[in-house]
Structure 1
């Protein structure tokens, strides 16, 4: 079975080293440029994105105006109160320290979700993908 996993291009949040999961950002100019320089020699039978702007724009930059479906279960983890903040801004926060210390299931970002929760939803969706699908999604989802 062939499933093509493609991470979205860079956003301004990626470039600034911010946690960005649920914020719907476009690609940055650098991200668009990097994608336009790529040349994939794959021919997927179908395309799926997470529905986030950065994944939809990545698909278009790589494959043009192809039809695609959206499955929100492939969205990045919701970082809750840590969303759009950097390590430097968060490093003194006890909740952040507990979260990065290891037990991802017990220490969830306030108002967010755990990595384990994201993994469960993404893997459930992944099992439903048909052969020959290109999935444009997020780094956390690909790592799951």
Structure 2
């Protein structure tokens, strides 16, 4: 049976607005982030999209976004957390290295600075989302996560590794027999 996952990035935060690296650290949603999350919630409602289950990362920017989209009960999961960027947390995005074009990512650059590798993030997020979708009653699922975590998942499952993941966008994936297939990106605007 084919199931549907809406994997959504949290709304814009203060650190997003200030172009600061935010992985394990957190910052509050901006007014735009709040407004966009409400807009996406109305869009889901207008399209008649009802979720069997909802999940968010344990980080507040993700759970705050989910609570603005739907008032249904949800579960917070550590497996959906953002990539840990080590000592780069809270610093200017200008300090990020250039992504390796062969893999479409920073690879293991942040490990030497106390962070995670893209492989570690990808494995964590993929395992968490697979466990969610393998539940027998999980046919239409919303999961709110983060840009880097979602990008690592996209590297595994989407053919186009350059897919842009703006704040408050939802990536729609079909899921069948252990395989995720990217369908489309739904944006707040």
Normalising by structure 2, report the TM-score. Answer: 0.65
Provide the secondary structure at the position in 2 that maps to 1:24: coil
Match of 1:127 in 2: 130
Shift in Å, 1:133: 1.4
| Superposition misfits of 4+ residues, deviation over 3 angstroms | none
Match of 2:187 in 1: none
CA RMSD of aligned residues (A): 1.8
| Conserved 8 A contact 2:10-2:144 | yes
Match of 1:25 in 2: 27
Q: Distance in 2 between matches of 1:87 and 1:55?
A: 20
Q: Distance in 1 between matches of 2:116 and 2:91?
A: 16
- Select which of 87, 93, 104 maps to 1:87: 93
Unmatched runs of 5 consecutive residues or more in structure 2: 101-105, 134-138, 154-189
Q: Distance in 1 between matches of 2:112 and 2:38?
A: 35
- 1:103-128 residue CA offsets vs partner (Å, 9 max, x unmatched): 61366350111121111111111111
* Count, aligned residues: 135
Shift in Å, 1:4: 1.1
- 1:26-79 residue CA offsets vs partner (Å, 9 max, x unmatched): 21122112222332232111101011111111111111x221011101111001
Q: Distance in 1 between matches of 2:37 and 2:23?
A: 20
Normalising by structure 1, report the TM-score. Answer: 0.84
Assess, with a 3 A threshold, how the Cα gap between structure 1 residues 77 and 68 changes in structure 2: closer, same or farther.
same
Q: Which has the higher strand share?
A: 2
Q: Distance in 1 between matches of 2:24 and 2:81?
A: 8
| Conserved 8 A contact 1:79-1:109 | no
Match of 2:182 in 1: none
Alignment of 1:77 onto 2:79 = no
Pairing of 1:1-144 with structure 2 (within 5 A): 1-38=3-40, 39-40=43-44, 41=47, 42-63=49-70, 65-88=71-94, 90=95, 97=97, 100=98, 102=100, 104-105=107-108, 108=111, 110-130=113-133, 131-143=139-151, 144=153
